[in-house]
Structure 1
Amino acid sequence: RNLFGPDRYESEELVELLSNENRVTKETPPTFIFHTTEDQAVPVENAVRFYSALRTHGVNCEMHIYQKGRHGVGLAQTDPVLSSWPARLEDWLRTNAYLPGLPN
């Protein structure tokens, strides 16, 4: 609903159609999810449902939920806790050998 604004949605069917968790298939690419509980624009529950759908379809995925942080924190380089997420992503990429030339 936040993506296009509340006035753009005329039906719950459209909301369901555009919900990430409803679009997952076994062909969905491996997915790394980083979210915060304090995000007021996209509820963390959306990320949890998406993660659950990925797992249900056998998609390789990893999720990290941080307690603090607004929507759009980006790289969060100045936050001592949130700034750790790029290292978690790198760990995941290494563990799964997703980047050629990156040692596991």
Structure 2
Amino acid sequence: FSYQVPKSISFGASGRYVEGFPVASGPYVGGRPAPFTDDPTTAPGVEDYFLLDVNVGYDLHNVMHGLRADLNIYNALDNLHREFVGAPEIGRMAMVRLGYTF
């Protein structure tokens, strides 16, 4: 979803759902060291998660032609999640960008 409103402001949002998977996922499944189990139904893994990203931007042509500022917020709902087994949990992240087009 993206929308351009008058006065050089734009905003958008996107969402994604990722279905969880067990640690045994992949082309090779062998014996796993403790604390893992050989039973894939009880093996630790990655849980399902949903992420919502939002952004807003402003064209700063009144300051300098070609100048633009953007704010992107990834995982706006701060849904702590792991994207792969053994990784730390990831939360919300914000990024400000100032760009110039010539």
Structure that is richer in helix per residue: 1
Greater gyration radius: 2
TM-score normalised by L of structure 1: 0.22
Structure that is richer in strand per residue: 2
